[in-house]
Amino acid sequence: MTLSGVPQGTVKLQIMMTDSSSVYDHGGGTVVYKGQTSLQYGAFRYKGPCPDSGTHFYNITVEALAASGSVLASGSASRPFTAK
């Protein structure tokens, strides 16, 4: 995952993946942020998009957290995946 626009003062990134078409925990995690421009494979855990039927819309949300735990900024992306 490539990172850009991370605000100054960020110490952690909270990453969440959700399926807006179904109630299912796809995982995510919290990653210590030290100015890196990408996250290596395995930095957090998630279950990739694999709908059982039809088309599902998957969202990845990233929150930049300050040392206090407050959210400095957030970003998200969505994409549809269709069952095969």
Residue 39's Cβ-count burial label (10 Å; 0-12, 13-18, 19+) is middle
Q: What is the DSSP string of the chain?
A: -B---PPTT--EEEEEEEETTS--EEEEEEEE-SS-SB--TTSSEEPPP--SSSEEEEEEEEEEE-TTS-EEEEEEEEEEEE--
Side chain identity at residue 68, one-letter code: S
* Structural domain boundaries, residue 34: 12-82
Domain tally for the chain?
Answer: 1
pTM of the model: 0.81
In a domain? residue 1? no
In a domain? residue 27? yes
Token pair for residue 49? 């998009």
pLDDT tens digits, residue range 6-63?
999 999 999 998 888 877 777 789 999 999 999 888 888 777 777 778 888 888 899 9
pLDDT tens digits, residue range 60-84?
899 999 999 999 999 999 989 888 8
